[in-house]
């Protein structure tokens, strides 16, 4: 009778501990998403640093589908998670390729439109916000994606301003706005030099997915 009682007591302690261990070892992406206050949303930009390998340091955009992609770590659901939760997932995935777990830091570099709106007006339903992205590449200060609210159209000048303006090496008279349509790619030229000279002309209104290309100027431009 005493032996049976001891077995029952040990079972009561061992089984929960085993279950806890199983839970801790479960896949990192299967962990429930818990709103601990600030959570990531599409358009947010994250700064990721890995102390042991500087080649992995980068900025990650939370895409419209709520995901981010990083070398080795792969594609991860970021929207709805806190930066700390995402940091733990990246650490778990990178650890598979390191002898010892690396030192990973994930911090918020900039807010997307959805979280900017939350900061200004409080919690707003996700369906009320429709975010779009244009992309600026080439001779600008900060190339990369530029988020905007679809209901408030963005033009080329505004996008270039968000990108920090053109660099001294930009061919400002040959800026391109490239847009994919159902019949193929459409290219519009934008002469920024004429705008600088005070000439009033048509300024292209951008659409979601447009790419602004600021080429490098030639030797005699």
Q: Report the chain (221 residues): mean pLDDT per 10 consecutive residues.
A: 42 41 42 58 87 90 85 91 93 93 90 64 50 87 83 86 89 92 89 78 83 87 64
pLDDT at 120: 61
**Structure confidence at residue 48 (pLDDT):** 92
The answer to whether the CB of 62 falls within 8 A of the CB of 147 is no
What pLDDT is recorded for position 139? Answer: 92
pLDDT of residue 182: 86
Q: Which residues, including other chains, have CB under 8 Å from residue 37's CB and lie 6 or more apart?
A: 82
Reading phi first (left if > 0) and then psi (alpha if -120 to 50, else beta), residue 13 is in alpha
Strand duo 104-110 + 184-190: pairing = unpaired
Helix then strand then coil, in percent of the chain rounded to 5, is: 30, 30, 40
Burial of 140 (0-12, 13-18, 19+ CB in 10 A): buried
Query: Alpha-carbon distance 138 to 215, whole Å?
Result: 6
């Amino acid at each position: 009778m005493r032996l049976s009682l001891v077995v029952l007591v040990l079972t009561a302690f061992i089984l929960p501990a085993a279950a806890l261990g199983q839970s801790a070892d479960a896949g990192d992406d299967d962990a429930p998403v818990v709103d601990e206050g600030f959570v990531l949303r599409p358009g947010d930009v994250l700064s990721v640093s890995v102390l042991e390998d500087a080649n992995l340091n980068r900025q990650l955009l939370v895409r419209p589908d709520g995901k981010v992609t990083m070398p080795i770590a792969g594609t991860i659901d970021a929207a709805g998670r806190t930066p700390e939760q995402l940091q733990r997932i990246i650490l778990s995935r990178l650890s598979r390729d390191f002898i010892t777990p690396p030192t990973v830091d994930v911090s918020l570099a900039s807010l997307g439109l959805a979280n900017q709106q939350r900061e200004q007006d409080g919690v707003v339903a996700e369906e009320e916000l429709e975010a779009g992205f244009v992309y600026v590449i080439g001779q600008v200060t900060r190339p990369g994606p530029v988020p905007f609210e679809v209901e408030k159209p963005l033009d080329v000048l505004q996008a270039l301003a968000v990108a920090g303006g053109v660099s001294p090496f930009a061919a400002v008279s040959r800026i391109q706005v490239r847009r994919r349509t159902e019949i193929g790619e459409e290219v519009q030229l934008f002469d920024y030099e004429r705008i600088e000279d005070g000439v009033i002309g048509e300024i292209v209104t951008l659409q979601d997915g447009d790419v602004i290309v600021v080429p490098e100027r030639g030797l005699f431009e």
